[in-house]
Amino acid sequence: MSTRVAAALLLLLATFAPTHSSDDLIDKICKTTPFYEFCEASLRPLSPENATSIAAAMATVVLRNMTDTLGFIQSQIRRSRDPAAERALAECAELYRPVVKFNIPQAIDAMRRGDLGFAVYVIGDAEKQADACQKGFSAAGDDDDGSTAALTARNKLLKDLCDLAIAVLKSLMKGG
């Protein structure tokens, strides 16, 4: 290989180094969690570039999912004709609303100031709300239109996301 080609390759490598190192950071953090594939799939689309933006991206994924699930619950409440199911759904909405409206946005603000510990606490609490929603909701009994299964799947995804987010945040707190 000629020196000029080698020099050009080096230049090319140097040019792309920032992209590679950010990819490596997501990869590195995800490898420290027990959920590698899920972690990659959740973080990669938001292309966070450093530790701070990885933390914020993780909280954003949880926030979006929970917001989406709250919207789903509200649409189920409007459709429901079973008072027991409707009560359980309304309870889920009450559990999720403050987390979506206040707690997670506050945690994201705290992260921007470098406080990850608060976010770990808030996301741990979000996971408890998902548990509480699921318990109340499954106790209310079955329906016939598949919405029980749909909400169960959403609560499960939320719990998994919270577990992932906590693993990522803890890894970041330890310095990756």
Helices (H), the chain: 3-32, 36-43, 51-79, 83-98, 104-112, 116-139, 147-173
Of the candidates 21, 50, 75, 106, which one interacts with ligand NAG according to CB under 6 A? 50
How many residues bind ligand NAG, per CB under 6 A?
A: 12
Binding status of residue 53 toward ligand NAG by CB under 6 A: yes
Q: Is the CB of 77 or the CB of 157 nearer to ligand NAG?
A: 157
Q: What is the CB neighbour count within 10 angstroms for residue 69?
A: 23
Distances (CA, A) of 28 to 70, 87, 176: 32, 44, 7
Asked if 161 touches ligand NAG (CB under 6 A), the answer is yes
CB of 47 to ligand NAG, least distance (A): 7
User: Does position 52 bind ligand NAG by CB under 6 A?
Assistant: yes
**Measured from the CB of residue 60, what is the shortest distance to ligand NAG in angstroms?**
8
Query: Rounded to the nearest 5 degrees, what angle is found at the Cα of 137, between the Cα atoms of 135 and 139?
Result: 70
Contacting residues toward ligand NAG, per CB under 6 A: 41-42, 48-50, 52-53, 61, 64-65, 68, 161
